[in-house]
């Protein structure tokens, strides 16, 4: 394509072989734990809402 300026996607790579092991593991696990918390909240609210409508 003539005249198009492609901007490369920004990537964030983390070198997990350097630095504190505990810090690397925590930083790796935080998004996973946050996702699990949101999943538990969704399931709890869904159970409450469905429980209110099933009994009617």
Q: Is 2 helix (H, G, I), strand (E, B) or coil?
A: coil
pLDDT at position 26, please? 94
- According to DSSP H, which parts of 1-56 are helical? 21-54
Low-confidence ranges of the chain (pLDDT < 50): none
pLDDT at position 19, please? 87
pLDDT tens-digit readout, 16-30: 888 899 999 999 999
What distances in angstroms separate CA 23 from CA 11, 18, 29, 30, 55, one per listed residue? 20, 10, 10, 11, 48
Reading the block at residue 11, the tokens are 């990537």
- Rounded to the nearest angstrom, the gap between the alpha carbon of residue 20 and the centroid of all alpha carbons in its chain is 22
pLDDT at position 7, please? 74
Dihedral sign for Cα 30, 32, 38, 44, please: negative
pTM: 0.61
């Amino acid at each position: 394509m003539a005249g198009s300026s492609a901007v490369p996607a920004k990537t964030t790579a983390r070198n997990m072989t350097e630095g504190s092991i505990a810090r690397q593991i925590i930083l790796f696990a935080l998004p996973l734990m946050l996702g699990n918390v949101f999943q538990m909240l969704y399931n709890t609210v869904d159970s409450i809402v469905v429980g209110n409508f099933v009994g009617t």
